[in-house]
Amino acid sequence: MDFSIKTFDAKSTLANVKSGCVVVGVLEGKQLSAAAKAIDTSGEIAAAVKSGDITGKAGSTLLLRRVAGVTAERVLLVGLGKETPVSLKDFGAAMRAVAHTFAKLGASDGVIALPFDGVKDSTVSQTINCAVLSVQTEAYRFDEMKSKKEPVAQGVGKISFAVAAGDAAAAKTSVADSLALAHGMALTKDLGNLPPNICTPTYLATTARAMAKDFKFGVEILDRKQLEALKMGSFLSVTNGSVEPPKFIVLKHMGGKAKDAPVVLVGKGITFDSGGISLKPGSGMDEMKYDMCGAATVLGAFRAIGELKLKLNVIGVIATCENMPSGSATRPGDIVTSMSGQTIEVLNTDAEGRLVLCDALTYVERFKPAAVVDIATLTGACVVALGNHNTGLFTRHDAAHDTLADELLAAGKITGDTAWRMPIEEAYNDQLKSNFADMANIGTPGGGSITAAAFLERFTRQYTWAHLDIAGTAWKSGSAKGATGRPVPLLMRFLQTRAQAVK
Ligand code: BES
Ligand code: MN
Ligand code: ZN
């Protein structure tokens, strides 16, 4: 999609711009937005609104053709809701409706003149971001695996945003930022949506290598032998039942000062989670192809980081393998030794995410990180607790971690890619006791997402750490089944805010 910024003056106006479609807003209560008023010299738009054909309800639309006094072939009216200034929620609904119409419209270009500077508590950058992401999300298709691609609707291919001259520079930067984010999210979705027989650990490694070449990241891919040498007995125990070789991927983007400590992102990359010997029930098991969405999030974030040339040191680490049952698979009752030296009794082979992550979390100590954030589709219990709206956020409870948690929560709030903080207090730790090893890999019943986080916490004491459980937010089930690209927006906002603070 091609986006640009347009500003108007006395001579070149919204009314005389040559375009396939001009988009203006209508407020609930039959009022026109400023831009709608400006082009409505004939009164036709006011008449259409008065007729009740559009209510102004956020996201309602009405397409008019050949409006007198307007050069553009069409005028798309879109409802902005009843609040003035417009709320970001209503603006988002309006923008999604515009994107939806644009995806099917027979016009080759469109000019959007919504009040980008008139949305409550939002900057022009934020509203433009919302606009670009709405359009990109609406245009996203995953038909790589279909032999016959659905014919692509004609759709609007060139979109310009009409902004005040003073906002043009900020709007331009925001378009570039938002496109980088959209490209990152599309990669995260593609990887998530690919089937597990194609998106294997090797496939993820190949993708990372190709990205490293394109964006000049440092890259290292460790194979089984190297992981054995590192004594990653916990990670490797998960791969025992699979014929797919495990991969441990390290990507480095050193966009900051050489001496600055990096932010490290760690992704869970189980390309298929059958549960192993503790086999999952058959119904819905296909969705466990999404168990690599933490890894896909790290790769999507790196796609955006590369495109933005982010001025921050960021290291991405992905532990990826398949969790399968077989004669060589890990058994319930097996005891494994993690890279940290701590021993783990595997009481349930389906609690494999923490087994791969704990070794990755020990590995990253070598980077002396400023902060480590792991991203994992870790527990069904997190979906029970938070549903599909919020990512679960877990950290220790001290001043440094409260600061990190607040940064992540704020980044979620501003992008609409929200997280909710959960507790990890000492009391939950007792639930992980094992009679035979340093700890068990599952807790006693209750608080399953918290005991999982408490397990990880034991491997993160050398640095400031946060854990994002994305089991509920990384994909949608049902008829709209598909990866969401979350929490790439949250992470990118977090990283960009850190990059700005360094400057
Ligand atoms: N990948 C799953 C978690 C999951 C389940 C994500 C459902 C999304 C939807 C994870 O590896 C797992 O199986 N966790 C178990 C842990 C249990 C055995 C302690 C779970 O949540 O049931
Ligand atoms: Mn599992
Ligand atoms: Zn899993």
State pLDDT tens for residues 113-137.
Answer: 999 999 999 999 999 999 999 999 9
Q: Give the model confidence (pLDDT) of 296-321 as tens digits.
A: 999 999 999 999 999 999 999 999 99
Which residues sit with their C-beta closer than 6 Å to ligand 1?
Answer: 273, 291, 348, 350-353, 377-381, 383, 442, 448, 471
Question: What single string gives the DSSP state of each residue in 146-174?
Answer: -SSPPPPP----EEEEE--GGGHHHHHHH
CA of 235 to the centre of ligand 1 (A): 16
Q: Residue 347: what pLDDT?
A: 98
| pLDDT class of 1 with cuts at 50, 70, 90 | confident
Residue 169 lies in a domain: no
CA of 294 to the centre of ligand 3 (A): 10
Asked if 192 and 146 sit in the same domain, the reply is no
Rounded distance between C-alpha atoms, residue 175 and residue 501, angstroms: 21
Residue 291 in this model has a pLDDT that exceeds 80: yes
Asked if 160 and 187 sit in the same domain, the reply is no
Q: Residue 98: what pLDDT?
A: 98
Computed from CA positions of residues 229, 231, 232, 237, in that sequence, does the dihedral angle turn out positive or negative?
positive
Look up the pTM and report it.
Answer: 0.96
CA of 350 to the centre of ligand 2 (A): 4
Residue 159 in this model has a pLDDT that exceeds 80: yes
Domain that holds residue 73: 2-164
Q: Tell me whether strands 371-376 and 343-345 are parallel, antiparallel or unpaired.
A: unpaired
Q: Residue 82: what pLDDT?
A: 95
Choose one of 285, 348, 350 to mutate for the ligand 1 pocket test, by most ligand atoms within 8 angstroms of C-beta: 350
Asked if 228 and 154 sit in the same domain, the reply is no
| pLDDT class of 480 with cuts at 50, 70, 90 | very high
- Both tokens assigned to 251: 């990507």
Total count of domains within the chain: 2
CA of 205 to the centre of ligand 2 (A): 21
Nearest alpha carbon, ligand 1 atom 17: 351
| pLDDT class of 154 with cuts at 50, 70, 90 | confident
Residue 188 sits in a domain of what CATH number?
Answer: 3.40.630.10
| pLDDT class of 503 with cuts at 50, 70, 90 | low
Q: Give the model confidence (pLDDT) of 14-63 as tens digits.
A: 999 999 999 999 999 879 999 999 999 999 999 999 999 999 999 999 99
Residue 377 lies in a domain: yes
Rounded distance between C-alpha atoms, residue 407 and residue 405, angstroms: 5
The number of the ligand nearest the C-alpha atom of 388 reads 1
Asked if 114 and 259 sit in the same domain, the reply is no
Residue 277 lies in a domain: yes
Residues 352-371 have a mean pLDDT of: 99
The number of the ligand nearest the C-alpha atom of 274 reads 2
Nearest alpha carbon, ligand 1 atom 5: 380
Instruction: Give the number of C-alpha atoms closer than 13 A to the C-alpha of residue 114, restricted to the C-beta side.
Output: 35
Q: Give the model confidence (pLDDT) of 236-258 as tens digits.
A: 999 999 999 999 999 999 999 99
Asked if 233 and 288 sit in the same domain, the reply is yes
Residue 488 lies in a domain: yes
Nearest to 351 by CA among 244, 271, 452: 452
Residues 196-213 have a mean pLDDT of: 98
